[in-house]
Structure 1
Amino acid sequence: MRLVELAAVDQSLHSLLDPAERARADAFASATARREFVAGRVAQRLMAAELLGRRPEALQAQYWCPDCGVAPVPSHGRPGYLADGEPVALAMSLSRSGGWVLLAMTPSAGVRLGIDLQRTADVAFAGFDDVALSRAEKVLLAGVPPQERTSWRASVWARKEALAKVSGRGLRTEPADIEAFPAPESGVGVWDVRASQLPLPGGFAAAVAVSAGGVAGAVPDTATG
């Protein structure tokens, strides 16, 4: 895993991105959203190139959605790259929140990966529980001390987002239908990212999910940048 401050990414490196990625960036109405999108995609490309031992500009973005299929435009779906016209053997996931991007990658064959970085303050609104929590999760929440509930909600939401990314469908699945603590037979494992693994900024939670065939240790060593 790698945590990168978006403001620290050199915007001139946008030239490394594919035309489809740059077109997606240009579609943002907000200059801030545009800069953060570019920074996130540049950080992802640099990390992938480092792990693959290739030049960043030699990689071609490719996104896969279980409903739409393969597309070069990174509007949604699981991210990936082509090199010399062939898909690279690298599972990856990206999450941007509060000025940071959290990246996870693994070369494990056949593994699907999802990661999410969640700002705790973003879940502190009335009605969150009804929109986001399953019946079982509401029961668990009742046992959490009141002063810890906002942090717990953020962790649960990060888990749900990570699991949704493993599926490739994202939050087109109703959040309350995604169990943040899936049964072992579900074929997907999900873990909270701990401070001992990666020092997160204050007020954030993070989680990583891995499909069947992967294990927590399949995620590369952590780093910040």
Structure 2
Amino acid sequence: MTGPTTSCPPDVLWLGLDRAADSWWPLLDARERRRARALPCPLVRRRFIVRRGMVKQVLAHRTGLPPAELTIHTDARGRPTVTAYPRLRFSVSHRGPLAVLAVSGNGSQVGVDVERVSGHRVTPRILAYTLTPSERHFLAGLPSRERIRAFHAVWTAKEAVAKATGRDLASCFTRIDVTLGPAGRHGGPSDGQHLARDLTRPSAAWIVTRPAAPLPGYATALVTLPTSQEERP
């Protein structure tokens, strides 16, 4: 297997979403405002407006465009893009009051994910369809608390790979195998780099890093896909 390669690391910014939406609403375009109005929950709606406005403000700083004139599209694989700036790549993830934005300016695709660690997700049914056999074997040997943490380390890594490559997340459950070594305290996964491998393509592997969240109880993952590794559809 060819060793995984990395590119210049993207910038990672953490966004606090629990703030008034009034100042961010003018930055949204007509399509984004329709989407916001369609959200049934006021809290979810407010956080969406704040998140979108903050992301556009960051991207506007990178491009020189006024935030209200910046339009976010998606490419053929569903990845966000600013059409006039093809080398500007970014990925956004959010959970509760927290969002994370990864931005690359050199054309490298990026994928980032943040999840709140919770034992409610770690059920036999979910483990069965989201993990590879080797991942299930690794988690089975961990104490309950560390198993929960390890599961979220695997889950966020697969989400990050899916976002960077534009793959369907469901296919990543069975095709992407995440190696969680070396072990941290109590035999659980460390907080350093992990490796995600494509079981169907031995040459494809990605280094997964873990940006430190500003709030406790969150799992994170970041994957950078160098331009040379841009996948064919």
Shared fold (TM-score greater than 0.5)? Answer: yes
Deviation at 1:150, TM superposition (A): 0.6
Cα deviation, residue 135, structure 1: 1.1
Task: State the Cα deviation string for residues 105-161 of structure 1 (Å, max 9, x = none).
Answer: 01012x111100011015344422112111121122133343311111111111011
Q: Deviations over 1:75-95 (max 9, x none)?
A: xx211123xxx2342100000
Amino acid at match of 2:225: S
Deviates more, 1:19-28 or 1:119-128: 119-128
The residue number in structure 2 matching 1:78 is: 79
The 5-angstrom pairing of residues 12-51 of structure 1 reads: 12-51=23-62
Query: Could you say what secondary structure the match of 1:115 adopts?
Result: strand
User: Normalising to structure 2: TM-score of the pair?
Assistant: 0.75
Alignment of 1:136-151 (within 5 A): 136-151=134-149
Q: Please point out which of 80, 85, 104 is paired with 2:102.
A: 104
- Residue equivalent to 2:217: 203
Instruction: Return the match for 1:192 from 180, 201, 209.
Output: 209
Cα distance between partner residues in 1 of 2:227 and 2:218? 28
1:206–1:60 distance in 2 versus 1, CA, 3 Å: same
Going from structure 1 to structure 2, the CA distance change for 1:10 and 1:26 (only over 3 Å counts) comes to closer
Q: Name which of structure 1's ranges 50-59 and 13-22 shifts more when overlaid on structure 2.
A: 50-59
**How many Å separate the matches in 1 of 2:228 and 2:17?**
29
3-state secondary structure, aligned to 1:2? strand
Number of aligned residues: 198
Q: Deviations over 1:47-102 (max 9, x none)?
A: 11122333212311111233xxxxxxxxxx211123xxx23421000001021111
Letter in 2 for 1:54: L
Q: 1:31–1:199: structure 2 CA closer, same or farther, 3 Å change rule?
A: closer
Structure 1 unpaired stretches of 5+: 67-76, 216-225
Unaligned runs of 5+ in 2: 1-11, 179-194
Distance in 2 (alpha carbons) for counterparts of 1:11 and 1:131: 42
Give the aligned CA root-mean-square deviation in angstroms: 2.4
Contact 1:159 1:190 in 2 (8 A): no
In structure 1, what is the equivalent of residue 126 of structure 2? 128
Matched residue, 1:219: none
Matched with 1:182 is 196
Given residue 160 of structure 1, which amino acid in structure 2 is its aligned partner? Answer: K
